[in-house]
Amino acid sequence: MKSGKSSSGSSGGGNAPPGNAKKGKAETRGLVMEEAQICCGCRFPLLVAVLQLLLGIAIAVVAFLMVAISSSLLARETPHWAGIIMCVVSLVGFILFCITRVPDERATVQFITKLLYFLFCTIGLVISVLVIAFQSYHYNLTNSLTCKEKGEDCVCNLDPEDPIARTFTYSGVTDCSAVVSTLPMYNLLQIVLNLAQAIVCLVGAFMIWKHRYQVFFAGLQKGSPSDQQCQKV
């Protein structure tokens, strides 16, 4: 009888309580979700900020190459300002990436940086659309010009047979082929670069909005049921 009691007691003590098993599964699930969120934070906004920086530099470089053709080109024809603004937006994205994420956005610096990045991405989207509109107009315009050289200037007009047609003078251009062929190519390149920039800014603004209102990680709930360890706000 004694041996039976001792054997039954030892067998009963070896079984783990069901509550501890559920608790262990819940903790494992919470750690997995936390690791997934950390991994997501490593990808965003780093990739978006890098793309914004590269595209901003490319837009500025192409704009300065356009200025090298003729110094009389207007600012809307050479959107170097758009590239510089995009570089500033990317720097805010890098700052946001370096800030340690805090659940429920309890950190003031984190919240302000996310808000600034969202606003800058929206402004960058609007600027890119404006540049696309300007460059599309100038692309069609330069393709319709008829130019001839006058000293160190290149004088172009839309209709050489019309005496009152609008005339465009590009100073410092000794070869009008730069205005007729090279300048439209730069305009087309600006359209492509700013279209890509608009898409990247749209993705950045959407991801900030999505993290805030759909899948923003709020941390572990202490004292909550074991089956619900994570919440989304």
Task: Tell me how many domains the chain contains.
Answer: 1
- The answer to whether residue 49 sits within a structural domain is yes
Could you tell me what percent of the chain has a pLDDT over 90? Answer: 34
Q: What is the pLDDT of residues 132-164, one digit of tens each?
A: 999 999 999 888 888 888 878 888 888 777 777
* Residue 163 belongs to some domain of the structure: no
Residue 219's pLDDT band, with cuts at 50, 70 and 90, is: very low
Domain-located, residue 17:
no
Instruction: Kindly state whether residue 187 falls inside one of the protein's structural domains.
Output: no
Residue 47 has φ and ψ, to the nearest 5°, of: -65, -45
How confident is the model at residue 55, as a pLDDT? 95
The token duo for 200 is: 């990247």
In this prediction the pTM is 0.70
72 domain-assigned? yes
202 domain residue, yes or no: yes
Look up residue 173 and give its DSSP letter: -
Residue 132 lies in a domain: yes
Ranges of H-type helices in the chain: 2-14, 18-43, 46-69, 80-98, 108-143, 177, 183-213
Give the position of tokens 């053709």: 69
Domain hosting 91: range is 39-144+194-218
Cβ distance 125 to 202 under 8 Å? yes
The number of residues making up the chain comes to 233
Q: Are strands 167-171 and 230-232 parallel, antiparallel or unpaired?
A: unpaired
pLDDT digits (tens, 9 = 90+) for 97-128: 887 665 555 567 778 888 899 999 999 999 99
Q: Which of 28-42, 126-140, 161-175 has the highest mean pLDDT?
A: 126-140
Helix, strand or coil, per DSSP, at residue 149: strand
29 neighbors 229 (Cβ within 8 angstroms): yes
Q: How far apart are CA 201 and CA 120, in angstroms?
A: 8
Would residue 159 count as lying in a domain? no
